Amino acid sequence: MVSLLDLLTSHYAPVQRMMLPCLDIVDVAALMRTCKGFAQLQPLLQATVYNASRFFGQYFSDPIAFRSIQGQCGALVSGRGVRTFLQRSAHFSPYLQIFVAASRSRPILEFLKKDGYVVLKKKSGSNVQTFSIVVSRGTKILLDVFMGEKAAIAQALMCYPFTASLNFLSWNKVYALFPYSTFGKSESYLLRDMDAVKYAQLEGIVSDGLKFKSVAWTHREAPEGLNPRHDFTDTLFHQDADELGELVRIRRIGDRHTWVVKLDTKGLSVPDIPTSVLESATFQLRGPHHHGQLSNVAHYVMDCDCIINHPVLKHQYVTLSLGTQDDDSDERKARHSYYIRKCQDLNTRLNELTLIALRGMHTDDRPLHQYIALKRDISKAATMRGKIDLPASWAFFDDDVITYLDKAWQGQQKIDEQERAARNAQVAISTVGHDSAMQLLQSLLRTVSQDLRK
């Protein structure tokens, strides 16, 4: 008997070509998680429906050249067009956003100008430059290039007012950070005060068939009876915690909540920025109560920053803000702050390495002003990136940082798994009684704390 798996293999190529257009992103994701045999869909999707070069061919005369430069600059492409790319929609969006660190932006700007794009007037003091070009049938394309001092992913995460907009194309992969809510439930949540949202941004969400919400409705229920100092992540044992995990827990680019599709890289130059730099970036959505905001419309707040940004690193690393530990119990601190505390420790070590590296320079080459400032306040090390002329013998520690962040993330995942087991245990023993259930849950949380101290 011929199975669905058989029909989607290349052995039945005509049937395969007919069936794939009928599967949307949610269907494909579900199939690939169901059976290892469906993993063969990945290369097929690269070559057909998720063909990045064909997508960029709508915007650039040489999409291969653009993607190579994109990789060299560590740039990310986002916007409504990337969402429709993931949805496999025939709709063409003439608007794209490109995010790139200012120090790496020059090749991107030169490519756009050579490709015929015209620079529109740039606002004074703005790090955004808009380019336009008129293509076939009079269609006008507008590209906004964001060139902040921070890493591209940090700029992109902080740019958009909706979760549905957080989809990014790198040189070799496409990432959808909130695929379940965006593509599975067709919902988008608010990431800033409603008064700061432009009509055009809201109209784009609605016209794409997405339902607009402030925050998940279950989050409005969950804070009842909780200490108002704590954010919505205190809903650990809420009945919808698994469903809300995509929204509120500490996240990482490319984690199990992210929909990632590898793209065909044939003909592209391999950049010197490892993919692991982007995929080490962490972020978290926090509820408005966490920041003490007063607004008629609730919204989440994106938490991320380029804290790991020292001169002893070739690249910038995005983590959570390091000043977000305000929990008042050891159990909550272990749950919320483990990864943050590990990043704080890393930040301290990199501060020390920067001072050591300056001390190791010949006195004639050592930048005296920066050296004295750092000896007075070693915490300024992360602000000295690009302000020191580095000698040829200068050592970088990116490999060590990536390994360290990977281990820290694995520790955070261990906490998450133990919490999930605790929730399951709560359901299993619900008939035993409230007191017995709470004793078991407290015991599990103490185990989490003890494991982290080892």
90 confidence band (pLDDT: 50, 70, 90):
confident
Whether 42 and 26 map to the same domain: the answer is yes
Whether 72 and 217 map to the same domain: the answer is yes
Last residue of a domain, one of 291, 322, 341: 291
Percentage of the residues of the chain whose pLDDT score is greater than 90: 44
Residue type, 152: A
| Cα–Cα distance for residue pair 343/339, rounded to 1 Å | 6
| Cα–Cα distance for residue pair 91/87, rounded to 1 Å | 10
Whether 224 and 150 map to the same domain: the answer is yes
Last residue of a domain, one of 240, 264, 291: 291
- Classify residue 299: in a domain, yes or no: no
DSSP secondary structure code for residue 180 in this structure: I
Whether 4 and 68 map to the same domain: the answer is no
The angle at the Cα of 429, spanning 428 to 433, to the nearest 5 degrees, equals: 150
| Cα–Cα distance for residue pair 47/158, rounded to 1 Å | 32
Q: Where are the alpha helices (DSSP H) in 23-62?
A: 25-34, 41-47, 52-56
Residue 257: closest CA among 84, 416, 448? 416
**Count of domains in the chain?**
3
Under 8 Å CB-to-CB from 388, ≥6 apart: which residues? 311, 358, 367, 370
Which residue, chain included where needed, has tokens 């609605």? 206
Residue 311: closest CA among 386, 399, 402? 386
Last residue of a domain, one of 291, 322, 342: 291
Amino acid 227: pLDDT: 37
| Contact status, residue 233 vs residue 338, Cβ threshold 8 Å | no
239 confidence band (pLDDT: 50, 70, 90):
very low
pLDDT in tens, 379-434: 999 999 988 899 989 999 999 999 999 999 999 888 878 877 776 666 666 655 55
pLDDT in tens, 157-211: 999 999 999 999 999 999 999 988 898 888 999 998 888 888 777 778 888 888 9
Amino acid 440: pLDDT: 61
| Cα–Cα distance for residue pair 307/328, rounded to 1 Å | 24
- Classify residue 297: in a domain, yes or no: no
Whether 25 and 101 map to the same domain: the answer is no
Whether 283 and 325 map to the same domain: the answer is no
Whether 43 and 86 map to the same domain: the answer is no
Most confident residue range from 80-84, 279-283, 359-363, 366-370: 279-283
Amino acid 109: pLDDT: 96
- Classify residue 296: in a domain, yes or no: no
| Cα–Cα distance for residue pair 113/116, rounded to 1 Å | 5
- The model carries a pTM of 0.82
Whether 321 and 438 map to the same domain: the answer is yes
pLDDT in tens, 240-251: 554 566 687 889
Whether 274 shows a pLDDT value over 60: the answer reads yes
Domain of 412, in residue numbers = 304-453
- Classify residue 91: in a domain, yes or no: yes
Residue 176: closest CA among 99, 78, 34, 242? 78
Residue type, 377: D
Task: Tell me the pLDDT of the chain averaged across its residues.
Answer: 80
